[in-house]
Amino acid sequence: MTVASGSVASGYRGSASTASRPRDAVTVPGTWPGRAPDAGAPVTIVLIDDHAIVRQGLRSLLEREHDLQVVGEASSPGETLVVVERTRPTIVLLDMKLSPASDSDGLSLCAQLTKRYPALGVLVLSTFVDDALVVSAIQHGACGYVVKDVDVVELVRAIRLVATNGSAFDSRSAAAMMRSIHAPQARSALTGREQGVLQLVARGLSNRGIGARLYLSETTVKFHVRNIMRKLDATSRAEAVYKATKSGVDLASASKPS
């Protein structure tokens, strides 16, 4: 396979020996820096991938940027939870495939991370661009989705967007999202994230207000609201709240998004 010289994939090759040493992240126990770091503060990143050479290549590429700082690495869900708790990063760069047994075991880890650390930005970096997988990643709390052969410049741009409470999708992932929105689908139950969004809709918050509360971009909130209205066969936000309440969805008590 021919790989463009400026792509992320090309950066993996030959980078293991040149990867820089980890720089120490300074955090105060019990605190979380959250996204949108202060001016001058680096965007701290934890790399999650089951292949060491991929992590080393990514570290080498990202640490060329003055405002990006890789503070940890992990190859499994268990390692990830330990490293994230210790380093308190701005962003987790997460591979969807963390074992030979599954192509999407990163989804459950994504849900765990966003549920446990709502201020954490999860950016999925995957080999696959399946429509259902992209949508599922968003439903599990991811703020962005890019494919591994994306240009390095585009990956860095995506990281910076997520770090400022934005959402980031490469062209193929964005197209997958749009196809999912417009495709006819059978109704299914609301996810935990969608219930959390709908609770805030019921309280009268705008998309921007919901995004600020849940650490999501306004675009991602709009995506969830569209899905909610489609699932409930509603034509307005008020109708969605009414139909959800009528069907037994509890919109009064606070729920934890998943």
Q: What is the pLDDT of residue 7?
A: 55
Q: Are residues 144 and 167 in the same domain?
A: yes
For residues 48-59, b (16+ Cβ closer than 10 Å) or e, as one string?
bbbeeebbbbbb
Q: What is the pLDDT of residue 14?
A: 37
Q: Are residues 47 and 170 in the same domain?
A: yes
> Residue 72: enclosing H or E segment and its boundaries?
strand 68-74
Q: Tell me: the pLDDT tens digits for 84-109?
A: 999 999 999 999 888 877 767 888 89
CA angle at 232 for the pair 214 and 140, rounded to the nearest 5°: 35
- How far apart (Å, rounded) are the C-alpha atoms in residues 201 and 206? 7
- Domain, as residue range, for 166: 8-181
Q: What is the pLDDT of residue 16?
A: 35
Q: Are residues 21 and 133 in the same domain?
A: yes
At residue 234 the predicted structure's pLDDT band, cuts being 50, 70 and 90, is confident
Residue 66 maps to a domain: yes
Q: Are residues 36 and 87 in the same domain?
A: yes
Rounded to 10°, the helix 106-116/131-139 angle is: 20
How many domains is the chain built from? Answer: 2
Q: What is the pLDDT of residue 3?
A: 33
Q: What is the pLDDT of residue 192?
A: 84
Q: Are residues 65 and 131 in the same domain?
A: yes
Q: What is the pLDDT of residue 198?
A: 92
Q: Are residues 119 and 212 in the same domain?
A: no
Domain end, chosen from 130, 155, 181, is at: 181
Q: Are residues 145 and 198 in the same domain?
A: no
Q: Are residues 63 and 114 in the same domain?
A: yes
Q: What is the pLDDT of residue 171?
A: 76
pTM reported for the whole predicted model: 0.63
What percentage of the chain has pLDDT greater than the value 70?
Answer: 79
Residue 142 maps to a domain: yes
Domain end, chosen from 133, 158, 181, is at: 181
Residue 215 maps to a domain: yes
Q: What is the pLDDT of residue 255?
A: 46
Q: What is the pLDDT of residue 12?
A: 43
Q: What is the pLDDT of residue 6?
A: 53
- Identify the CATH number of the domain in which residue 167 sits: 3.40.50.2300
Mean pLDDT of all residues in 163-185: 74
Q: What is the pLDDT of residue 182?
A: 63
Residue 186 maps to a domain: no
Q: Are residues 104 and 211 in the same domain?
A: no
Is 60 exceeded by the pLDDT of residue 10?
no
Mean pLDDT of all residues in 154-165: 90
Looking at the DSSP bridge assignments, the partners of residue 91 are 45, 121
Q: Are residues 81 and 176 in the same domain?
A: yes
Find, among 116, 117, 99, the residue nearest to 48 by Cα: 99
Number of H helices, E strands in the chain: 11, 6
Is 90 exceeded by the pLDDT of residue 243?
no
Q: What is the pLDDT of residue 5?
A: 40
Residue 107 maps to a domain: yes
Q: Are residues 32 and 60 in the same domain?
A: yes
- Identify the CATH number of the domain in which residue 206 sits: 1.10.10.10
Contact yes or no for 59/20 (Cβ under 8 A) = yes
Q: Please report, as a single letter, which amino acid is at residue 48.
A: I
Residue 253 maps to a domain: no
Residue 163 maps to a domain: yes
Find, among 2, 5, 4, 9, the residue nearest to 146 by Cα: 9
Q: Are residues 98 and 142 in the same domain?
A: yes
Domain end, chosen from 162, 181, 200, is at: 181
Q: CA 151 → CA 3, 4, 171, 189, 239, distances in Å?
A: 10, 8, 12, 37, 43
pLDDT: which is higher, 161 or 3: 161
At residue 29 the predicted structure's pLDDT band, cuts being 50, 70 and 90, is very low
